Structure 1
Amino acid sequence: MRFSLISTVFLIGTAFAQAKLPSKAPCKQDGSLGVCESGLCVQTPGDAQGSCE
């Protein structure tokens, strides 16, 4: 039982880790809000967050 619970948590965590943000979604250069599909997060130095391009 313990093994199946650990396996389930691991699989769900892996699925969330691979999720990519769509275009125009809010993002941060450090990736703390997720990673853009395009790999490009445009954030100016004065802004708290940018947007995926």
Structure 2
Amino acid sequence: MRFSLISAVFLVGTAFAQAKLPAKAPCKQDGSMGICESGLCVQTSPEAAGSCK
């Protein structure tokens, strides 16, 4: 029981601690390359990746 509680807290902590992408960094709207600091990834449909704004 303690192990599962400790591991759950660890996983939640690492999820919150992920570094966010700075402005003008390459990104994808689905978040697979990371999340932009501003929360806005501009990607047009023919492009493979967009950029953080």
TM-score, normalization by structure 1:
0.70
Unaligned runs of at least 5 residues, structure 2: none
Q: CA RMSD in A?
A: 2.2
Q: Work out the number of aligned pairs and report it.
A: 45
Partner of 1:32: 32
Give a deviation string over 1:2-50, Cα, whole Å, max 9, x none: x8xxx7xx57x81785210000000000000000000000000000000
Moved over 6 A (4+): none
TM-score, normalization by structure 2:
0.70
**In 2, Cα distance between the equivalents of 1:19 and 1:45?**
26
The percent identity for this pair of structures is: 82
